[in-house]
Amino acid sequence: MDWLDAGLRRGPTSPPLPEEGEPRLVERIRSEIAAGGPITFARFMELALYEPELGYYRTAVERPGWGGDFLTSPDTHPIFGAAIARQLDEVYRRLGSPARFVVREYGPGSGSLGLAVLQALAGEGRLGQVAGSPELARAIRYAPIEINPHRTTELVERLGAAGYARSLELGLAPDAPETGVVVANEFLDALPVHRLVGRSGGIRELLVGWEDGRFVELEGEPSSPALADRLEVEGVRLEEGARGEVCLAIDDWVSETSAGLERGVVLVVDYGFPAADLYSQERAGGTLRAYAGHHVHDDWTVAVGRQDLTAHVDFTALERVAAAAGLVPLGRTSQAEFLVGSGLDELLEAVRSDPGTTIDEWLAIRSAVRRLLDPRALGGFRVALLGRGIEPEPPLRGLVYRFDR
């Protein structure tokens, strides 16, 4: 059991796991299988998560958050967003303090991270005493990239009510060239993945079929030569019976992201490993997991459309594809070290030393910081920074403690 299974995204409650899937979605997938035979897991995952109005991320139901299925770092406490704001400010200044600085966030949900960043830059509250940046607060344009109209409505209302409608930029094409930062916090882990298994004659792909009234796993020939090519270029060989996931969708995401970044940085925060660790014997069972009701488990066949599906990010693939697209890998570290490098201690001290801070507020932020830094929890996430038009040295503040070079 690795640190994902140790409760990485779990919250405080443990309601019963849902077993019944969204009936219309189940029928939609079943019909596709009946018409054309078994489908790849990547296709199944795409439908289960992103089918309009039916997929897990396309309904009106709350997903991340205390009342949802899992907690992300921005949901834990605004101090995470304040630390991100400090890193954004450094990038902004290194780029010459442009009059327009676009921050695109992929998968922003209802806007927890965006709001925390904007409040910190504007100098609001105790965290803003440290993270405030009037120049960037005027220049920033926050452009959420969210496919769910329900979440977009919530985000617009939330930021508008807080007084940040002017900073919000909707409808900006993801590939429209801009100077700024692209943020992907726990986004890449939910891109569709192909599932593979090692056999004596080479890799086989694990497909999705329908038998006896339920989805089942079937072995077949690889659906694309790109799957074997990915493993080969990374020097990976799956032993007999070993399983692993390959995300080919990351190529298109990087291509889109690169096209939209004229100058600046791509900031990726997620759970994952370099290829040598991701496909090691320690993870021979693969990293596919399902999340529902703050539980983590590995049964992807149940609760289709009503539970999240994720797989660890291959950071070797991310950086290799990014380099081919003209993005320079600036460094990789852990979330804990990134936050400390970005000045988390100063932010925490600002709260502690403020005479207006109540004991409940102090205990809440201390508890959140412990979770954000715990290497067995959120602190164990990887952080990768990729750049264009920005010098890699000296390292950005979030990379001062980097351990992967």
HEC secondary structure over 101-168 = EEEEEECCCCCHHHHHHHHHHCCCHHHHHHHCCHHHHHHEEEEEECCCHHHHHHHHHHHHHCCCHHHE
H-type alpha helices, 143-274: 149-161, 225-233, 249-259
Per-residue confidence (pLDDT) for residue 9, from 0 to 100: 52
| Predicted pLDDT at 10 | 46
- Rounded to whole angstroms, the Cα distance separating 377 from 387 reads 27
What one-letter code names the amino acid at 215?
F
Q: What is the mean pLDDT of each run of 10 residues along the chain (405 residues)?
A: 44 54 97 98 98 94 64 92 98 98 96 97 95 97 96 96 97 96 97 98 97 97 98 97 98 98 98 96 96 86 95 98 97 97 96 94 95 94 97 95 66
Distance separating alpha carbons of residues 22 and 164, to the nearest angstrom: 36
The answer to whether 371 and 377 are in contact (CB under 8 A) is yes
Alpha-carbon distance 85 to 143, whole Å? Answer: 15
Other CB atoms within a 10 A radius of the CB of residue 135 amount to 14
CA neighbor of 284 nearest in space, from 317, 248, 314, 239: 239
What's the sign of the alpha-carbon dihedral 204, 205, 211, 215? positive
| Residue matched to tokens 């038998």 | 211
Which residue from 178, 324, 325, 206 is spatially nearest to 263, judged by alpha carbons?
A: 178
Q: So where are the chain's domains?
A: 1-45+194-246+287-311, 71-191+247-271+315-399
CA distances from 269 to 215, 284, 304, 332, 336 (A): 32, 24, 26, 10, 11
Give the pairing type, strands 178-185 and 101-106.
parallel
Which fold would CATH assign to domain 71-191+247-271+315-399? Answer: Rossmann fold (3.40.50)
86 by DSSP, 3-state: which? helix
* 190: its two tokens: 């939910």
Sheet with 289-292, edge to edge strand ranges = 295-297, 289-292, 308-310
What is the Cα–Cα distance from 333 to 336, expressed in whole angstroms?
Answer: 8
pLDDT at 150: 93
pLDDT at position 293, please?
77
Task: Map tokens 């997929």 to a residue.
Answer: 55
**What distance, in Å, lies between the first and last C-alpha atoms of the chain?**
26
CA distance 161 to 237: 53
Backbone angles phi, psi at 135, to 5 degrees: -65, -50
Judged by DSSP in three states, 284 sits in coil
Q: Confirm if 19 and 290 have CB atoms less than 8 A apart.
A: no
Among 270, 271, 269, 305, CA closest to 290 = 305
Pairing of strands 101-106, 140-145: parallel
pLDDT of residue 71: 75
Closest CA to 110 of 70, 68, 157, 43: 157
The CA–CA distances, whole Å, from 274 to 50, 235, 325 equal 27, 12, 19
